Amino acid sequence: MTLAKQHNAQREGTPQEGKRSCTRDPAESKARTVIVIQNDKGLHTRPATELVRCTSRYKSNVQLTYSGITVNGKSLLGILMLAAGKGSKIEVIAQGEDAQDVVTAISQLVSCRFHIQY
């Protein structure tokens, strides 16, 4: 491979001759769970803020679905739009390189009642 072709291959992000690309597609990893809101006041501003703090630490995309509405799990306004009360079952789907980690963290946060004492 000529020097010009190597330079173009590096610029375009294509693997050079004789070398394999070892990058994994982050969209490959997917994890899901269903959480049940246990807080007496439901998923109001304080627990929604804790949920956003939790999901924002991860690279994966997180979607929450409740009552036919799907929102971004990293968006405070989106989560509040769900208006999920106590006992609500919310489907959590994460997609990306740390999908399982974020789903586990969300499950732990919910089981701890979002670290909120009433």
Q: What is the pLDDT of residues 16-56, one digit of tens each?
A: 444 444 455 655 799 999 999 999 999 999 999 999 999 99
Decide if 12 is inside a domain. Answer: no
Decide if 111 is inside a domain. Answer: yes
Decide if 59 is inside a domain. Answer: yes
pLDDT in tens, 52-102: 999 999 999 999 999 999 999 999 999 999 999 999 999 999 999 999 999
Decide if 14 is inside a domain. Answer: no
Residue tagged active-site, from 30, 38, 42, 44: 44
Q: CATH number of the domain at 45, please.
A: 3.30.1340.10
Q: Give the 3-state secondary structure percentages of the chain, helix then strand then coil, rounded to 5.
A: 40, 20, 40
- How many folded domains does the chain comprise? 1
User: How far is residue 34's CA from residue 65's CA, in Å, rounded to a whole number?
Assistant: 9
Please indicate whether residue 44 is annotated as part of the active site.
Answer: yes
DSSP summary character for residue 102: H
Decide if 74 is inside a domain. Answer: yes
- The total of other beta-carbon atoms located within 10 Å of residue 22's CB is 6
- 117 — pLDDT class (breaks 50, 70, 90): confident
The residue segments making up the domain with residue 83 are 26-115
Q: Which of 3-7, 82-86, 94-98, 111-115 has the lowest average pLDDT? A: 3-7
